[in-house]
Structure 1
Amino acid sequence: MEQQKNSKKALKITLSLFLAVGLIVSLLPFGAAAFWHRVFSFFGLNDFSAAADSSPMSVHVLEVGKADSIFIECGGKTMLIDGGTMDQGESIAEYLDRRGVKKLDCVVNTHPDEDHIGGLAYLIGHYRVGKYFAPDIPKNMIPSSEEYLSAQKALNEKRISTVVPRPGETFSLGSMKIEVLAPVKQGDSTNNNSIVLKLTYGKTRFLLMGDAEKEEESDLLAGGEDLSADVLKVGHHGSGTSTTDALLNAVKPKWAAISVADDSNGLPKREVLKRLLSAGAAVYRTDVSGTLIFMSDGQNIKIKTER
């Protein structure tokens, strides 16, 4: 018994030393990613995020409960789309630290609901931010929540201006093209004012729907844009209000990612799962598989799940 206690004590001391050294290493020019890989290996743990090290482009759908946060890497550039709930900010930062992130070249808040903007105040304070994008929300829909106000305060303190992207605009992240598809017009809810993005890397494509519901989907379809994509980040956590047959017929996804957790809403809805399966999409869920990493070499996509 005494020997077991001593072993546990020694392990705690060793881990504390690694963490202390980690704080120092994280300040050095070469970053912290390699250090954390070694720490995980030393303790016989699998640094799951290291799966993306050899991929030139990767999309990480983070496990943040019934909320959204997507981290994207391409050519040494980084992008974060949404920050989950307020209690998830620190855990997202821990994941980004393991990826060696020092700066977020681009942060996008698809819309200001608590489960998308909540962790952004912490993350904006934790990292240097290049550009910050958010939709133009009608004044009567601008929230007064702690999550929204905290994010605005963090932006003001770091003197980061908000850019409102318009449909048809494009920008790049490394050699990846990012197209702004929506909101096409102001919707009747914050969900239907979600920023919708299409990522194109080589011949691979990703469509990220935010919390867009059928009304915003209809606007997208009416606009005649090419919505086809290999990976669909399913809108509104698999709610029945989103992911219509009409949208799926236009997207024709091979894979669908749903960021969700068990709660009273019973998401994802069974009818949504049926529609996705009928469309031929392989469905990946964060509540089942943990964080999802989609890795592209410009020709093919590989998928790694946390569990």
Structure 2
Amino acid sequence: MFIFIAKERSFMKRWITVSALIFILIFSVRAKAEGVKPEVHFMDIGQSDCILIKGEKNYLIDTGLPRTQDKVIHYLDSKDIDNIEDIVITHYHDDHYGGLEKILSSKKVKRVILPKHQQNYRDYIFSYLKDKNTKIDYIDSSYSINEKDINLKVILPEKEDLDIENNNGIVMCGTIDSLKYAFMADAEKEREKDILKNKEISDCDIMKVGHHGLDTSSTEELVRAINPRVAVVTCDGDESPSESVINRIKGNKTEILRTDKLGSIIIRKGKKDKEVEIMTSKMIE
């Protein structure tokens, strides 16, 4: 009898242990599925842009300069980013497309989205992507990112600007985990006027300040219309940002976050409705 009970207890103990492990595994998988909280990462790579939208799928807006490509890869590695759904190149300046080759050779990228206007660098990038057998799409107004808790649309220029490439850039806006974002690329004042005229953008929680905070962009009218609670400036602290732009945004009672002062900046929704949670690499260090 003692042996039987001992065996029964041993079996029950094993069954409870196995059941507990199965429960832990199921709970872990479910927690992982439910716990993917979208974040936006503004990388500290000087006067250039590379923005990671991290969620159940990952997206990049621009890729930085050629000289910052190793820093971008290191950052992506540190966040365990191996797969990227789309890379959106906003326009054909090398501080936005310069890290593309290195990212493609280091990460699994499903697709690259390019502006469709004719440009010498477009042909160069297209040839390279073709050689790498990378899927390429030229953007149109129907492009959007619609994933769990991420809904972004594009604002395209009315016509090509033959003089100022910045005005041909892809502006993106929409919600990420119920926070409203405006990613202004390098859009300059004339492009901003068109956006305001067409009422394509309004109150946002977070604005990625156009053209690294230089005085070519971020007019008082635009800042008032977007009325951001937080403005992120991707800048080097030397050539950018312009003091006049910083003062203009401060005058709107907006919190300013600068990559030259804070390092890489991570933004996500806090626990309360419309609460903005901010982390910076210098805080983490």
Amino acid at match of 1:293: I
Displacement after TM superposition at 1:168 (Å): 5.7
Counterpart in the other structure of 2:105: 125
**Corresponding residue for 1:225?**
200
Residue of structure 1 in register with 2:186 after alignment = 211
Q: What secondary structure does 1:143 align onto?
A: helix
Residue pair 2:85, 2:111 contacting (<8 A) in 1 also = yes
Counterpart in the other structure of 1:43: none
Unaligned runs of 5+ in 1: 1-53
Which SS does the other structure have where 2:201 is aligned?
Answer: coil
Aligned to 1:190: 165
How many angstroms does 1:98 deviate by? Answer: 1.6
Confirm or deny: 8 A CA contact 2:173 2:201 kept in the other structure. Answer: no
Whether 1:173 aligns to 2:147 is: yes
CA distance in 2, matches of 1:169, 1:228: 22
TM-score by length of 1: 0.75
User: Aligned partners of 2:37 and 2:159: how far apart in 1?
Assistant: 34
CA contact (8 A) 2:178 2:269 kept: no
After superposition, the C-alpha distances for 1:113-146 in whole angstroms (9 at most, x for unaligned) are 0111111111012112122112122x3x4338xx
Aligned partners of 2:114 and 2:71: how far apart in 1? 22
Q: Aligned equivalents of 2:216 and 2:36: distance in 1?
A: 35
Query: Aligned partners of 2:185 and 2:97: how far apart in 1?
Result: 12
The residue number in structure 2 matching 1:59 is: 40
Quick one: distance in 2 between partners of 1:222 and 1:168? 20
Max Rg structure: 2
Structure 2 stretches lacking a partner, 5+ long? 1-34
The partner residue of 1:71 within 37, 52, 58 is 52
Query: For 1:146-197, what per-residue CA distance to the aligned partner results, in whole angstroms no more than 9, with x for missing partners?
Result: xx83x44441122224322223643313331011112333224210011000
Q: Distance in 2 between matches of 1:153 and 1:143?
A: 10
Matches within 5 A, 1:141-290: 141-143=119-121, 149=124, 151-167=125-141, 169-188=143-162, 189-263=164-238, 265=239, 267-290=240-263
Contact 2:39/2:268 (8 A) holds in 1: yes
1: CA distance, partners of 2:103 / 2:44? 16
Cα 1:162/1:227, change in 2 over 3 Å: farther
Mean alpha-carbon deviation: is it higher for 165-174 or for 183-192? 165-174
2 CA distance for matches of 1:270 and 1:59? 25
Aligned to 1:26: none
Q: CA deviation at 1:56?
A: 0.5
Distance 2:155 2:149 in 1: 19
CA distance in 1, matches of 2:203, 2:218: 14
The Cα offsets for residues 260-304 of structure 1, whole Å up to 9 and x where unpaired, read as 1133x3x21111011101112111111111101111257422011
Q: Deviations over 1:196-238 (max 9, x none)?
A: 0013124311110111001111111111223321010000011
CA contact (8 A) 2:171 2:182 kept: yes
Q: Which aligned segments of 4 or more residues in structure 1 are displaced greater than 6 angstroms? A: none
- 1-side partners of 2:178 and 2:221: how far apart? 23
1:43-62 CA distances to partner (integer Å, 9 max, x unpaired)? xxxxxxxxxxx761100000
Pick closer, same or farther for the CA change 1:243–1:173 going to 2, 3 Å.
Answer: same
Q: C-alpha separation between the residues in 1 aligned to 2:108 and 2:46? A: 25
Q: How many residues align?
A: 245
* Structure 1 contact 183–216 (Cα < 8 Å) conserved: yes
CA apart distance, 1:84: 0.8
- The one of 54, 65, 87 aligned to 1:107: 87
